[in-house]
Amino acid sequence: MSQESYDGGDLRNTGMRLKHDREWDYELDRIVDAVAKRDAETVGLQFPEGLKRRGPKVVDDLRERLGGDVTVMLSGQPCYGACDLDTYLMKRTDVFVHFGHSPMKESEKIIYVPLFSNVEVTPIIEEALGTLEGPEGSPDVGLVTTAQHMNRYGEMREFLEERGYEVHSRRGDERLTHEGQVLGCNYASADLPVDQVLYVGGGKFHPLGLAMEHPEKRVVIADPVNNVVTVADTEKFMKQRYGAVHRAMDAETWGVIFCTKIGQGRWEEAQSILADNDDAYLITMDEVTPDRLRNFDVDAYVNTGCPRITTDDGPRFHRPMLTPGEYRIATGEKPLDSLSFDTFHGTW
How far from 162 is each of 130, 166, 167, 199, 345, CA to CA, in Å? Answer: 16, 9, 10, 18, 34
Q: Which of 90, 220, 273, 306 binds ligand SF4 (CB under 6 A)?
A: 306
Report 328-347 residues binding ligand SF4 (CB under 6 A). 344
Contact with ligand SF4 (CB under 6 A) among 31, 183, 188, 270: 183
Q: Rounded distance, CA 60 to CA 236, Å?
A: 44
Binding to ligand SF4 by residue 147, rule CB under 6 A?
A: no
Asked if 81 is part of the footprint of ligand SF4 (rule: CB under 6 A), the reply reads yes
Whether residue 307 has a cis bond before it, omega within 30° of 0: no
Q: Rounded CA gap, 267 and 258, in Å?
A: 7
Between CA 3 and CA 20 the distance in angstroms is 19
Q: Which is nearer to ligand SF4, 213 or 223 (CB)?
A: 213
Q: Interface with ligand SF4 includes 184 (CB under 6 A)?
A: yes
Specify the stretch interacting with ligand SF4 by CB under 6 A; choose among 41-49, 76-84, 152-160, 271-279. 76-84
- If binding is defined by CB under 6 A, does position 47 make contact with ligand SF4? no
Q: Which of 155, 146, 187, 158 is nearest to 170 (CA)?
A: 187
Among 6, 24, 80, 165, binds ligand SF4 (CB under 6 A): 80
Per the DSSP assignment, residues forming a β-bridge with 200 are 145, 222
Q: Could you say whether residue 203 binds ligand SF4 (CB under 6 A)? A: no
HSE at residue 137, side-chain half, CA atoms within 13 A, is 3
Closest CA to 198 of 226, 166, 162, 173: 166
Least spacing, CB of residue 276 vs ligand SF4, in Å: 25
Tell which one of 40, 185, 188, 273 touches ligand SF4 (CB under 6 A).
185
| Interface segment toward ligand SF4; rule CB under 6 A; list 20-28, 79-87, 124-132, 146-154 | 79-87
Q: Which is nearer to ligand SF4, 49 or 195 (CB)?
A: 49
Where is 222: in which H helix or E strand? strand 218-223
Q: Rounded to an integer, what distance in angstroms lies between the CA atom of residue 18 and that of residue 226? A: 9
Stretch that binds ligand SF4, among 53-61, 75-83, 130-138, 192-200 (CB under 6 A): 75-83
The answer to whether residue 156 forms part of the interface with ligand SF4 (CB under 6 A) is no
List interacting residues with ligand SF4 (CB under 6 A): 80-81, 83-84, 183-185, 264, 306, 308, 344
